[in-house]
């Protein structure tokens, strides 16, 4: 058990987190690390994506990735983007820095509940910034001030610990049961088709035999050379070779705003001649190109 992690959780979540951490420590290879308190959406995603694994709660994304790097967990599951609120902050920096390989993805519908010790009215609601963003309209219409917390279930545990009847939390419904709160409203998210994509990471990439006969996604990052039309030229190879790029996002590397990195998903895998040619052309027009993983599609694109 890592005391630096457990001591970061709110009191009501501490006992549950400790029990899960002790179980994972007894069989680290089966453990799957996630960010958040027991009952968080990432906890649910871990148990659904890997039903036979031992969920290991970690206080931050860095802690969850470090658990895999340190051998305290065989895998980690991390949310990377939400259909309503975009990419999860800092993930594009953390994944490449971790040195881990993406070995899977999991898409999970997200539903939030408003929960509290009392019946309201409520002055404020705590939750993860993603959940607050996904429930912005619900909160604004009721004059409830959104307050950021490190994870959804942790916010529920914190509200239970405070015992303030004027403060609520937005979290998965199971968190109310775990921490003794009352559900005030279900499905408070602003969009009914709210979906989060998670990626699963491990120290080693998937072996080639695990990829045979499946529709595959390859994720990579690249930084183009600082010359005119470099991005156009770097991407041209995917078009001319018929490789479908399903995701392309830019982000700034460092505080100088001089180096723009791109995060991309394509359908296919290295070893396919068309993919190899496209990646080779992209690399030729880039300062850096790094593969983050090839893995089976969790959901068909297009």
Pairing of strands 167-171, 124-127: parallel
The set of residues, in sequence order, having a beta carbon less than 8 Å from that of 66 and lying 6+ positions away, is 58
The helix/strand/coil state of 77 is: strand
User: Is 198 annotated as catalytic?
Assistant: yes
Annotation marks residue 246 as catalytic: no
Query: How far lies 187's CA from each of 183, 216, 262, in Å?
Result: 11, 33, 34
- Write b or e for each residue in 241-272: b if 16 or more Cβ atoms lie within 10 A of its Cβ, otherwise e: bebeeebeeeeebeeeeeeebbbbbbbbbeeb
Catalytic residue among 196, 218, 219, 294: 196
Distance between CA atoms of 263 and 251, rounded to whole angstroms?
8
Catalytic residue among 9, 61, 198, 262, which? Answer: 198
Give the separation between CA 275 and CA 302, rounded to whole angstroms: 19
- Active-site positions? 196, 198
């Amino acid at each position: 058990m890592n005391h630096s992690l457990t001591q970061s959780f709110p009191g009501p979540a501490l006992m549950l987190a400790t029990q899960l951490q002790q179980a994972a420590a007894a069989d680290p290879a089966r453990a799957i690390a996630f960010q958040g308190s027991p009952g968080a959406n990432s906890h649910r995603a871990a148990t659904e994506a890997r039903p036979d694994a031992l969920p290991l709660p970690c206080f931050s994304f860095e802690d969850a990735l470090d658990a895999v790097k340190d051998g305290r967990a065989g895998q980690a599951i991390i949310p990377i983007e939400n259909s309503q609120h975009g990419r999860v902050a800092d993930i594009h920096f953390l994944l490449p820095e971790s040195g881990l390989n993406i070995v899977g993805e999991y898409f999970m519908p997200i539903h939030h509940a408003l929960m509290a010790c009392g019946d309201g009215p409520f002055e404020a609601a705590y939750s993860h910034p993603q959940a607050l963003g996904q429930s912005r309209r619900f909160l604004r219409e009721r004059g409830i001030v959104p307050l950021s917390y490190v994870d959804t279930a942790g916010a529920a545990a914190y509200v239970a610990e405070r015992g303030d009847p004027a403060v609520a939390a937005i979290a998965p419904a199971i968190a109310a049961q775990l921490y003794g709160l009352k559900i005030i409203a279900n499905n408070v998210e602003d969009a009914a088709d709210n979906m989060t994509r998670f990626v699963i990471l491990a120290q080693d990439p998937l072996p080639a035999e695990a990829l045979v006969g499946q529709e595959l996604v390859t994720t990579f990052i690249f930084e183009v050379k600082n010359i005119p039309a470099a991005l156009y030229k770097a991407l041209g190879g995917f078009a001319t070779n018929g490789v479908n790029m399903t995701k392309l996002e830019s982000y700034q590397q460092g505080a100088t705003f001089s180096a723009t990195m791109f995060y991309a998903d394509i359908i296919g895998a290295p070893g396919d001649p068309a993919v190899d040619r496209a990646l080779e052309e992209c690399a030729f027009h880039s300062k850096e190109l790094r593969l983050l993983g090839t893995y089976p599609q969790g959901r068909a694109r297009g």
